[in-house]
């Protein structure tokens, strides 16, 4: 699964955090957890250390370093990259229970809904990024991914045509050939969205 940045925003709009979605889980840094739970960084660190010390979670399985781009401290206008430790949803939920945070419960519900959406649909939409300035680069990225998927579909369809055309008695104008391709096309449409080609056209018209 490709890494994506999904914005989480609290109901009151006061908390807004860029979460990382990768490997079917969300990842936050200690600083982001401190902001999410409205607790001091030292409190978050203490709880995380206790989680590992008590054997509730295994650090090697729930932690990961991600590259993070920041402004250079000494040179204006220059950026720098550094590795920052992130913790997955298991740690986030565990810390939320320990600090008895309502915000933690809200975040868990939000994250669970996003993950369920990804598992069912194969993707999850970053609604906040789409709302801000028309989506900007995120919207362009979505279009590029859609084009890539359609391109793969076109290649697959071409392969079916190539295989069928190797038949000795192949005639592209024959009723049998046209019926075959209509049947295959309908099966592809049905597998993708549960409708035949004719039903897709009908839905778009009416």
- State the helix-helix crossing angle for 30-37 and 89-98, rounded to 10 degrees: 40
pLDDT of the residue at 172? 75
Evaluate if pTM is beyond 0.85.
no
Q: Give pLDDT tens digits for 144-176.
A: 665 665 556 666 666 777 776 777 677 777 888
Range 110-117 contact pairs with CB under 8 angstroms and sequence separation of 24 or more = 110/8, 111/8, 111/19, 111/26, 114/6, 114/21, 114/26, 115/24, 115/25, 115/26, 115/89
Q: Give pLDDT tens digits for 41-69.
A: 999 999 999 999 999 999 999 999 998 77
Q: Which three-class secondary structure state does DSSP give residue 68?
A: strand
d(CA 116, CA 129): 20
Going through the chain in order, the beta strands assigned E by DSSP cover 4-9, 16-22, 25-28, 63-71, 79-88
Nearest to 107 by CA among 119, 118, 96, 122: 96
With contact defined as beta carbons under 8 Å apart, do 114 and 124 qualify? yes
> In this structure, what are the phi and psi dihedrals at residue 96, rounded to the nearest 5 degrees?
-60, -40
With contact defined as beta carbons under 8 Å apart, do 112 and 121 qualify? no
d(CA 45, CA 53): 12
Nearest to 130 by CA among 143, 113, 121: 143
């Amino acid at each position: 699964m490709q890494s994506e940045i999904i914005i989480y925003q609290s109901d009151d709009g006061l908390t807004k955090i860029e979460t990382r979605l990768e490997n079917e889980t969300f990842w936050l840094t200690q600083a982001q957890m401190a902001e999410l739970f409205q607790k001091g960084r030292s409190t978050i660190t203490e709880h995380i250390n206790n989680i590992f010390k008590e054997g509730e979670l295994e650090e090697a399985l729930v932690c990961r370093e991600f590259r993070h781009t920041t402004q250079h401290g000494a040179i204006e206008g220059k950026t720098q990259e550094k590795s920052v430790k992130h913790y997955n949803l298991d740690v986030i939920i565990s810390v939320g229970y320990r600090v008895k945070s309502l915000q933690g419960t809200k975040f868990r519900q939000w994250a669970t809904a996003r993950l369920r959406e990804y598992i069912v649909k194969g993707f999850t939409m970053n609604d906040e990024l789409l709302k801000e300035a028309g989506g900007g680069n995120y919207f362009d990225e979505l279009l590029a991914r859609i084009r890539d998927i359609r391109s793969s579909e076109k290649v697959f369809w071409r392969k079916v045509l190539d295989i069928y055309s190797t038949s000795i008695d192949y005639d592209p104008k024959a009723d049998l050939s046209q019926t075959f391709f209509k049947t295959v096309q309908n099966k592809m449409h049905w597998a993708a969205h549960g409708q035949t080609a004719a039903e897709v056209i009908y839905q778009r018209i009416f």
